[in-house]
Chains A and B, each alone.
Chain A
Amino acid sequence: MRVSHLLSPVLLMMANGASGAPVVETNEWTESYEVVAQAELFIDNIWGNVEVIRGSSDQIELSLRSIRRADDEENFEYSLEQIPLRIGKFGNTVAVKVGRDQDDWWNGRRCEGCALRLDVVVSVPVDATINVSTVNDGDVTVRGIRGDVTATNVNGSIFTSGLTSCQTIETVNGDIEADFQTSPANDCRLETLNGDIALKLSDGADADVEVDLVYGKIRSTVELTPQSVPARVEHTSENGKRRYTIEQSAGFRIGSGGKTLILKSLNGDVLVERS
């Protein structure tokens, strides 16, 4: 592993260094890890942008910028424990995690006004498997990766391009842009609650699409063949009562069809076009 700091840590004491004043620390640095084939990148961020781009075949390089803040010096020290930033390589996986594990999130007192914003740009081998997420104040971007992509967000958008394979691309309050370079290699779910979904396929790329929109509509500049989707039967059991639900989504085929992309949005539209 190689680490280099572009800027030395800057600790800013606001308001004449009084103990009750907000404390902000900014860091910028890079890290690189050697990997062999089938590398995996895992990022679990809370505040900030995550961007993944294509890099060299044997390295994962991270360019990071963090801003840690707290309401006062005492909370700042406490935030190091409550919102740690961990970066490491485990086998062939490079992982970046902000915050503690969910299991022990509620242990200890609340860290008032504490936050760790992390903006990260990572270059990975083109075939790497990507599993990245953020929660607030940031977008997730994945460009030019041929490996399997899983990307999630909560309050922000997800932009992907040059995709060949994905598992889940999911956000709550944001748009999704999924640009496939080839026909999708496997089934994939693209879901947002409050946002539009733009599905782009390169010329000659085919897919079957299943759409579940509550208030939106489908727009397209690509010829689509409407097709019926098999009904989905779900069985739930609650208080000893069994309940079966049957739902049938709308569907269409692009080109000669292929793997199924499931697009879901509550308050958004779907746009289909060629990239």
Chain B
Amino acid sequence: MSDRIEDDGELFGDSASRDLWQQLQTAQKAEPSAQLRQRVLHDLNRHGERSGSWWTRLLPATSPQWVGLAAACCASLGLGLLMFPPDTQIDQRMARLEMQLDSVNQQLLISRLTATSPSARLAAVLQASTLDQRDATVASALLQRAATDDVPSVRSAAIGALGNEINRPETSGQIFELLAANDSPIVQIAIIDLILRHGELSLLQSLKQRASDGEVHPSLVGYVEETMGALEI
């Protein structure tokens, strides 16, 4: 990133200030003196002599017993690995267990998304929004919340939590169905913001078309057109 400051005529009012800033931009940075360089090199050398590398500290070069012991350890380790190779079954079992836990925890998340308590549903939506990897089931459950939840805050949060999911072909169709089905401007604006923030070009174009076809709330048409104009779509 450039650290150059653009003068728009307001930041630096007079020409004297502008000249000063330009001089500062082009001024050479002060070089360290030869004395300072010498002192730093000297300190570095002294520190290196005192500490040495980790293995020279661990195994003194003058002691051949240490070298022999290390060789014996390496040989034992190698022999051990040959006799008892790493158990691939354990690795497979761990991978299977991890998959099962992911699946159960995902099921748990989906069950929370349908909980009776609105606060539990809202907490689940927020949790879903922080997941690194989401599959189609979670996206579908979020869409379901976005479309049908009784509580507007849960609906809005679910729409926001969808994020990049809206670019999936199966989701993008549903998000426009949702837009058409929701009369509430609050929910519609959440959907529009989601598309404007995360939607790919095709989605943005589709939104523009729907706005001009009157499929969005009249009070939001202007907002969509203005944003599309700013995005040059």
**CB within 8 Å of B: which residues of A?**
211-215, 217-221, 223-226, 228, 234, 245-252
Contact = CB atoms under 8 A, between A and B. Distances in A.
Contacts of B114: 246-248
Given A212-B111, A214-B112, A223-B97, A250 B104 contact: yes
Contact of B101 (A212, A220, A228): A220
13 contacts: A217-B108, A220-B97, A220-B104, A224-B97, A224-B100, A224-B104, A226-B100, A226-B103, A228-B107, A245-B116, A247-B111, A247-B115, A250-B111
Contacts of B93: 223
Interface in B35-79: none
Contacts of A214: 112, 115, 117, 120, 123
Interface string B90-109: 00010011001101110110
Interface in B117-139: 117, 120, 123, 127
Nearest to B101: A220
Q: Determine the main DSSP class of B at the interface with A.
A: helix
A150 B108 CA distance: 26
A199 to B, nearest CB: 13
B164 to A, nearest CB: 23
A233 B59 CA distance: 71
Contacts, number: 58
Interface centre among B93, B96, B114 (most CB of A within 10 A): B114
A86 B110 CA distance: 49
B193 to A, nearest CB: 27
A222 to B, nearest CB: 8
A178 B175 CA distance: 45
A212 to B, nearest CB: 7
A213 B110 CA distance: 11
A265 to B, nearest CB: 11
Contacts of B116: 234, 245, 247
Contacts of B115: 214, 247
Contacts of A249: 111
A215 B123 CA distance: 7
A250 B97 contact: no
B90 to A, nearest CB: 12
A225 B100 contact: yes
